[in-house]
Amino acid sequence: MEVSKNSFKTLSEPVKQFGGLVGIIILIFLTFFVLNNIFGEGDELVAKMKIEEERIAEERKLNKLISSLPSGVLVSFDGTDNFKLSDELYEAVCKATKLIPQRAIMGANFLNFRAHEIYTINGNKIDETFVKWDDEKNKCFAGYVVSGNNVGVDETVKVSGEALSFLSTGIDTRVYFIKNF
């Protein structure tokens, strides 16, 4: 021990400084290694970041597509003067659409009296809306959930149907007709 202490003393000043620097660097690496093991998510975090990056890229692609569509009503069926969506566009518009305006909800309520009642009692309040692409059926489904107290009874009604037309505002797209019959 005494010998090593003396040999350290005999080292020149630049060598000592270099050794100290290497020691500090090793200490920093070790500290980060330990902290990463305790708090870091490692591969899981990288995987999450990749998924998020893919989602952003997909969203950008969809937004570009939406802005290229004509403003107005877009339909997935024949027999109207409105812009007819191709199968590919129908899927893309479905995936990009998040909003369901009031008229579409009121239209779907025609065939769901309970939903209409709760919707009216609640002052047109909607708990939740959803627009989903069904890969198996190759169709777009949209709907909403209304809940409330109807004559002393707590009710929750989910209305769902095929989203057959959309409204393109030039900025976004909205479900315009839910066929729930």
Partner 1 sequence: MKKLIFFILFSSLITSIASARSTGCKEGNCDNGYGKWVYTDKTTYEGEWVATKKHGQGTETWPNGYIYKGEFKESQWSGIGILFFPDGSTYEGEWANGFMNGKGTFTWSDGKQKTGIWKNGSFQE
* Residue 134 DSSP label: E
C-beta of 167: minimal distance to partner 1 in Å?
Answer: 7
Distance CA 84, CA 62 (A): 18
C-beta of 154: minimal distance to partner 1 in Å?
Answer: 20
- Within 8 A by CB and 6+ apart from 169, the residues are 71
C-beta of 80: minimal distance to partner 1 in Å?
Answer: 8
* Residue 99 DSSP label: B
Closest CA to 119 of 100, 132, 131, 102: 102
Site residues, partner 1 (CB under 8 A)? 73, 75, 77, 79-80, 101-104, 107, 110-113, 116, 164-165, 167, 176-177, 179, 181
C-beta of 149: minimal distance to partner 1 in Å?
Answer: 19
Distance CA 81, CA 9 (A): 93
Distance CA 78, CA 94 (A): 18
For partner 1, the closer CB: 93 or 167: 167
Distance CA 149, CA 118 (A): 7
C-beta of 25: minimal distance to partner 1 in Å?
Answer: 53
For partner 1, the closer CB: 23 or 101: 101
For partner 1, the closer CB: 51 or 102: 102
Q: Give the SS3 label for residue 122.
A: coil
For partner 1, the closer CB: 29 or 113: 113
For partner 1, the closer CB: 29 or 110: 110
